[in-house]
């Protein structure tokens, strides 16, 4: 028991520096929800139910331009597909846990919790890895929810004339540059972005989905073109 508690606390402690980024992001998510016309209750409810900031911001942007319901759902799901990658990487460490706890751990999975946990596990796997992860994920969840609530309440004070909807593309930009880790990713972003501009006229905002798929495909293509070149260099 003692060891479990220790790993939980270590996970939470290792996460503290990351919270500096979580606080403003969650607050912005709360403010943004209210700025597109959601009530504070809806804004807070969404953070409990969805708990995935980037996809929530994407939904707000689509709400602000009057996109259909289905496109909002599809876009958010596509953005959150990255969680399957995290899920696969964490899975071996969570196998001993019963399904209800696995479900709780899955619900709390975030980019930040994944990042902190995997960077620790790559150095040294703690004696109770599930509880280390839980400590990290839980402190992020609590911080996120509290800040999103504060943001939703603050959001009612932000006048519409400020043009706060412009904060959406700005926040995506910061997330996008963080994702440009290598050249194939830059190709994916350029193709995805350009296609979205050219396909803007497609009905039901379908351009977004088409652009995302083309971007992903061209990233994969760029990567496979690069691979043989690299092997050649090694020889």
Partner 1 sequence: MSAFSIWSLFVFLGLGTFLLRLSFIYLFGKVEMPDWLRRALRFVPASVLAALVFPALTYPAGILDLSLGNVRLLAGLGGALVAWKTKNILWTIVVGMILFWILQAL
For residues 90 and 133, what is the distance between their CA atoms, to the nearest angstrom? 9
- Alpha-carbon dihedral sign for residues 42, 212, 117, 120: negative
Q: How far is the CB of 149 from partner 1 (least distance, A)?
A: 16
Contact 173, 58 (CB under 8 A): no
Of 181-200, binders to partner 1 (CB under 8 A) are: 184-186, 188-197, 200
Nearer to partner 1, 15 or 27 (CB): 27
The residue with tokens 């006229």 is 201
Nearer to partner 1, 126 or 207 (CB): 207
Of 131-150, binders to partner 1 (CB under 8 A) are: none
Of 88-127, binders to partner 1 (CB under 8 A) are: 88, 90-92, 94-95, 99, 102-103, 105-107, 109
Q: How many other C-beta atoms lie within 10 A of the C-beta of residue 44?
A: 20
Q: How far is the CB of 110 from partner 1 (least distance, A)?
A: 9
Tell me the per-residue interface mask from 20 to 39 with partner 1, x by CB under 8 A, - otherwise.
-x--xx--x---------x-
Nearer to partner 1, 6 or 40 (CB): 40
Both structure tokens of 42: 């809806």
Both structure tokens of 158: 């932000």
Of 145-174, binders to partner 1 (CB under 8 A) are: 162-164, 166-174
**How many angstroms separate the first and last alpha carbons of the chain?**
53
- In 36-182, alpha helices (H): 40-49, 53-64, 69-80, 82-90, 99-107, 111-123, 129-155, 167-179
For residues 85 and 72, what is the distance between their CA atoms, to the nearest angstrom? 22
Counting residues that bind partner 1 (by CB under 8 A) gives 90
Q: Which of 12, 18, 34, 76 binds partner 1 (CB under 8 A)?
A: 76
Q: Which of 14, 150, 214, 226 binds partner 1 (CB under 8 A)?
A: 214
203 touches partner 1 (CB under 8 A): no
Nearer to partner 1, 13 or 200 (CB): 200
Please work out, in degrees rounded to the nearest 5, the angle formed at the alpha carbon of residue 79 by the alpha carbons of 139 and 101.
40
For 95, counting Cβ atoms within 10 Å of its Cβ (0-12 exposed, 13-18 middle, 19+ buried), the class is: exposed
206 touches partner 1 (CB under 8 A): no
228 touches partner 1 (CB under 8 A): no
């Amino acid at each position: 028991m003692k060891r479990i508690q220790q790993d939980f606390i270590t996970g939470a402690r290792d996460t503290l520096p990351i919270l500096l980024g979580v606080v403003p992001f969650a607050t912005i998510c709360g403010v943004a929800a209210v700025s597109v016309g959601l009530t504070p209750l809806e804004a807070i409810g969404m953070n409990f139910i969805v708990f995935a900031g980037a996809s929530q911001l994407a939904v707000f942007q689509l709400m602000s331009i009057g996109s259909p319901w289905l496109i909002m759902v599809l876009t958010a799901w596509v953005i959150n597909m990255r969680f399957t990658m995290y899920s696969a990487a964490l899975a071996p460490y969570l196998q001993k846990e019963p399904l209800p706890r696995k479900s709780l751990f899955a619900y709390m999975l975030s980019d930040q919790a994944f990042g902190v946990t995997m960077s620790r596990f790559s150095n040294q796997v703690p004696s109770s890895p599930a509880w280390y992860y839980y400590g990290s994920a839980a402190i992020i969840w609590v911080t996120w929810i509290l800040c999103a609530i504060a943001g939703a309440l603050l959001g009612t004070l932000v006048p519409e004339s400020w043009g706060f909807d412009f904060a959406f593309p700005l926040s995506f930009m910061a997330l996008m540059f963080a994702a440009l880790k290598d050249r194939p990713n830059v190709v994916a972003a350029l193709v995805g972005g350009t296609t979205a501009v050219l396909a803007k006229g497609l009905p039901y905002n379908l351009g977004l989905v088409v652009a995302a798929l083309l971007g992903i495909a061209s990233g994969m293509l760029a990567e496979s073109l690069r691979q043989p070149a690299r092997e050649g260099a090694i020889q």
